[in-house]
Each structure stands twice: as structure tokens, then as C-alpha cells.
Amino acid sequence: MNLLDFLCVIFLVFCTVLANPVNRKSIEKRQVVSECQLIEDILAIVGRTMDNCCYCGPSTCIKCEDDRITQISFPGKNFDGSIPESIVQLKHLEYLNLSNAKLSGPFPEYLFQLTNLKNLILHHNQFSGPIPESIGQLKQLKKLWLYNNEFSGPIPESIGQLTYLENLDLSNNELNGPIPESIGQLTQLKEVKLRFNQLSETIPESIGQLAQLDTIILDNNQLTGPIPESFKQLTQLTKLDLSNNQLSRSIPEFIGQLTQLKYLDLSYNQISGSIPESIGQISLINLTLNNNQLNGTIPESLGQLISLSALDLYNNQLNGPIPESIGQLKSLHIFQVGNNYLSGPIPESLGEITNLKFSYAKNCFSLEDIGSFYT
């Protein structure tokens, strides 16, 4: 840690106390010292200056407004312990980024006194234990990133009190239990990422109330039941990843109403039934349905997905021929249909798609069906 970073950490510990005698001498000339001026004095020791009450170095950033510190960003700094409790004196703080800082222990509940916080970024640390119910006190939060820690226990019901929240990422922890119904109160939410936890039970229908949702990432949990019917209201959704769960029943017909959807991953579940024809109405780039229990034929409507780059139907129970319309997908780079019950001639037009990686092994094709694709 260089001298500038060290002085910034000293500032966090004491907040309004300057220990350096050189700097104290200049401060004694003033009757009132603003938070901004204190930072300016610290930086002056190492020959740095602030620009409009702002200093942003290679990996450190401090910003002020009206002589009050509003932003502290120390990503990648080695605090090796806990956040100094004296940080609560910064009542005007709106942005706090202490990611990848080797912080550990339980969630520091004194942070909830910083009620003006809009961005709380503490990912890639070693925080453990539960996320406290009192997190609902941070009612101004727009971004909450706690991913890649060791948090355990349930997602607190009080998360629903963060009604200004736009971006929520609690991925890569050890959270368990259901996704709380209260998440449906976060009507400003655009992204929710809860992947790689141990969340269980069904996905709450209340998520369908979040009309501004752009991204839902819930993969690698233990979620069960169907895809909620309420998802048909999520018309702004561009990315939906529910892979590696225990979801069942069929792909709902309403999937065709999600016309903004670009990435759909339902792989490694227990989804059965046929692939709905309505799926051809979406502007998909990536469609991943492998390792389920899908049956019936591959819908002809998939040929309408002209932007599709990857189509993975591997390890299902699909039968019948590969539709001729698939050969119209000139952007297709990956097409996996192995380990199904497909039969009939493989469309020659597939061979005209440049750089296509096509896997069709373990089906019911004859040598005559395979034709020029046989090697």
C-alpha cells in the first residue's frame, strides 16, 4: 500500500481527526474544517491536489459535494479485517466501494446509520453470517452488491423496503431458504442476480410485478416448481437464466410475449413437454435448453430467430426431423442436438452456415439421413 492509500485509510479510521503534525499546523489556522478540506490537506502532504473537491487516483477515489464527502472508493485495498466504525460520521456518504478488500466477519450493522447511501459495494470479501434484517434501513439504496462473500441464512424479508433499489447482486454466497415474496416491492429493480447459492422452494410470483426488470439470474440454486405465470408481465426482460435448478413442468406458451429477450437459459432442470412454437417470436441470440426432459419435435418457428448464435437442445427426448428452417439461421455458430431421438434427413442447408459447430451424435439418424455430415 503506497503512502497516499495509507493516508486515506487513516482518514477512514479517524474520519475527522488528522494525526499528522505537519497538516495539523495548517488546520489550526481555521476555526471550522470541512470534510473536503481535510482530504485536501491529507493529499497535500504527498503533493496531490483535488479537482473541484475530487480526487481519483489509479484505484482510489474520494468525492465531495458542498464540502461533504459523498463518495469513497477503495477497491482492492487490503483492510484485512473490518470497516472502521468511525465511518458512520460521514453522514452525507452516498457511495461506498470497499470491494476485494479482505474484509471479514459479520456484516457491519453500523453501516445502516449511513442512511444517505445509494451504492453499497462490498463484493469479493469474506463477510460471513446472515445479512441483517436491519438492512431495510438503507432506504435510499439503488445498488447493493454483496456477491462473492460467505453470507449464509435467508435473504431478509426487509429487502422489500429498499424500494429505490435498481441493481441487486447477492451471488456466490451460501444463502438458503426461499426468495422472499417482498422482492416484488422493488418496483425500480432492473437487475437481480442470486446465482450460486442454496436458495430453494418456488420462484415467487411477486417478481412478475417488477415491470422494469432487464436481467434475472438465478442459476445454480435448488429452486423448484414451474416458471411463474407472472413472468409474462416482464416485457423488458433481455436475459433470463434459471439453469441448474430443479424446475419442472413445461416452458410456458407466454414466453413468446417476452419479445425483448436475448438470452434464455433453462438448462439442467427437469422441464418437460414440448418447446412452444411461440418461442420463434423472440429476438433470441442464445437459447440453451439442454439436459431437460423436453419431448415432441423441434418447432419450425426456431427458423425465425435470425439473430440466434447458439442453440443447445442436447440431452432431451426430442424426436422427428431437424426442421429445414434451421438452415436459415446464418448467424448460428453452435447447434447441439445430441442425445435425443431425432431422425430423418439432416438439412443440407446446415452445411452452408459458416463456422457452424454442429453436434448430432446419439440420435436415430441413419447414414443416409446424415449424408454429407458423416465423417
The mean pLDDT value for 216-245 works out to: 98
The mean pLDDT value for 71-77 works out to: 85
27 vs 128, higher pLDDT: 128
Q: Which of 286, 273, 278 is nearest to 258 (CA)?
A: 278
Instruction: Give the distance, in angstroms, between the CA of residue 70 and the centroid of all CA atoms in the same chain.
Output: 25
The mean pLDDT value for 156-181 works out to: 98
Choice among 28-32, 143-147, 282-286 with the minimum mean pLDDT: 28-32
Confidence (pLDDT) at 73: 87
Question: At residue 43, does pLDDT exceed 60?
Answer: no
The mean pLDDT value for 273-290 works out to: 97
Confidence (pLDDT) at 88: 86
- With a pLDDT cut of 90, the percent of the chain lying above it is 73
Structural domains of the chain, ranges and CATH numbers in brackets? 248-375 (3.80.10.10)
**Residue with grid cell 413445461, as numbered in its chain:** 250
The mean pLDDT value for 296-310 works out to: 97
Contact at 8 Å (CB) between 140 and 164?
yes
Contact at 8 Å (CB) between 67 and 36?
yes
Choice among 74-88, 131-145, 195-209 with the minimum mean pLDDT: 74-88
Q: Kindly give, in sequence order, each residue whose CB lies less than 8 Å from that of residue 277, ignoring residues fewer than 6 positions away.
A: 256, 299, 300, 301
Cell for 257?
Answer: 410475449
Per residue in 330-371, pLDDT (tens digit) is: 999 999 999 999 999 999 999 999 999 999 999 999 988 887
